[in-house]
Amino acid sequence: MTAASSRPRPSAAVAPSTPQPQGLSRRRNPPANDQTQPRSEEAATTSLAGALARERIRRRGEAGPDEEERVAFWQRTWFLALLLVMTAASFALALLLYLGLGLPEAAPAQSYAADPESVVEITYGSVIKLMHEKTKFRLHSHDVPYGSGSGQQSVTGFPNVDDANSYWIVRPQPDSLGKQGDPITNGAIVRLQHMRTRKWLHSHLHASPITGNLEVSCFGGDNESDTGDYWRLEMEGSSKTWQQDQRIRLRHVNTGGYLHSHDRKYTRIAAGQQEVCGVADKRPDNVWLAAEGVYLPLIQRK
C-alpha cells in the first residue's frame, strides 16, 4: 500500500440546507380550473338581479302610499263606474220616450183578461183603442190640423195596431155622478180624450175633407171642453154595461151623427190613413169595438 493510498480522503463538505420561509413557494400556481369562470358569471347575474330588485323596492317606496291607493281604488271601482253610466243612459232614454222628443211615445201596456171567457168591463179612466169593425183600423189622432173645414186637429183611422197615437181615455160627462172605476152603462154620455195631445174627440157641422160628411176632429184640452165633445154610447146585445170586444156605436149629442169610417183614404198629409167622419144614419160602417188598452178594475161602491 502506498502512502498516497494510505492517507485518508477528506470527506466532501455538505452545505447546510437553508430553511424556506413558510407560506412561500417557488412553485407557480397551477392555471385556474375551467369551472371558475361560469361560477363568476352566475354570481354577477345574481348580483345584478338583486340590484334591480332593490331598485324596484326603492322606487315603490318613493311613489308613496297615496299613489298606490289611488291606482287600487280605480281598479276596484271601474265596474261600478260603468254601471252608473249605463243607468244614466237608460234614464235619459226613458225620459226622451216619455216626453216624445222625436221618438215614438211609450205606449201603455196592453191589458187583457187572464181567462178568455171572462168579462172585461170598461170603466171610466180606462185607456183604450177603438177598432173599426169592418176595416180593423184604429181611431187615431195626431198634432196635424185639417187643411179645410174647422182647421182643428185631424182624426183618422190608422192601420197599425201598435201606434201610441191611437189611445183614448174614457171620461164621464162633467158634473155627472160617474167616477173613475165606475162601469159605463148603455145610453151613458161619455167623452174620449186623446192621450197624447190631451184634446177631446169632437164633432160639428163642418164638412169632412173627403166625403163632405160631418167633420170629426180633436178640440180643447184638460181645462177646456164643451158639449161638442159629448158622445152617447149605444151598445148591441143584452149586456147592460160596456165590455171589451162588444159591438157599440157612438152618437154625437149635438149633431146626431154616428162616429163612422170607411175605406176612403187620404193621399197626402195622412197618406194611407182613412177618413173618420159623422153620418146621420145607422150603418154597419159605424160599429166599433174596444180592443187593446189598459182597463181599470171595476170599483164596487156602496
pLDDT at 104 over 80: no
Residue type, 86: M
| Structure confidence by residue, pLDDT tens digits, 9-35 | 444 444 444 444 444 344 444 444 445
Alpha helices in 29-153 (DSSP H): 36-99
Is residue 100's pLDDT more than 50?
A: no
pLDDT for 20:
46
pLDDT for position 232: 98
Q: Is the pLDDT of residue 3 over 90?
A: no
At 259-276, the pLDDT tens digits run: 999 999 988 777 789 999
Residues 220-247: pLDDT tens digits? Answer: 999 999 999 999 999 998 899 999 999 9
Q: Confirm if 120 and 113 have CB atoms less than 8 A apart.
A: yes
Please tell me the predicted confidence (pLDDT) of residue 26: 44
Asked if 216 and 155 touch (Cβ cutoff 8 Å), the reply is yes
Rg of the chain over Cα atoms, rounded to whole angstroms, equals: 51
Task: Map grid coordinates 190613413 to a residue.
Answer: 273
Using CA atoms, how far apart are residues 127 and 110, in angstroms rounded to an integer?
9
How far does Cα 229 stand from its chain's mean position? 36
Q: What mean pLDDT comes out for the span 279-301?
A: 91
For 204, which DSSP code?
E
The whole-angstrom separation of Cα 170 and Cα 172 is 7
Give pTM, 2 decimals. 0.63
pLDDT tier at 82, thresholds 50, 70, 90? confident
SS3 state of residue 202:
strand
pLDDT category at 96 given cuts 50, 70, 90 is low
What is the Cα–Cα distance from 111 to 126, expressed in whole angstroms?
10
pLDDT in tens, 54-68: 766 666 665 555 544
3-state secondary structure the chain: CCHHHHCCCCCCCCCCCCCCCCCCCCCCCCCCCCCHHHHHHHHHHHHHHHHHHHHHHHHHHHHHHHHHHHHHHHHHHHHHHHHHHHHHHHHHHHHHHHHCCCCCCCCCCCCCCCCCCCCCECECCCEEEEEECCCCCEEEEEEEECCCCCCCEEEEEECCCCCHHHCEEEEECCCCCCCCCCECECCCEEEEEECCCCCEEEEEEEECCCCCCEEEEEECECCECCHHHCEEEEECCCCCECECCCCEEEEECCCCCEEEEEEEECCCCCCCCEEEEEECCCCHHHCEEEEEEECCCCCCCC
- Do residues 199 and 153 lie in contact, with contact meaning Cβ atoms separated by under 8 Å? yes
In angstroms, the Cα distances linking 170 to 125, 173, 208 are: 5, 10, 24
What is the pLDDT averaged over residues 184-211? 96
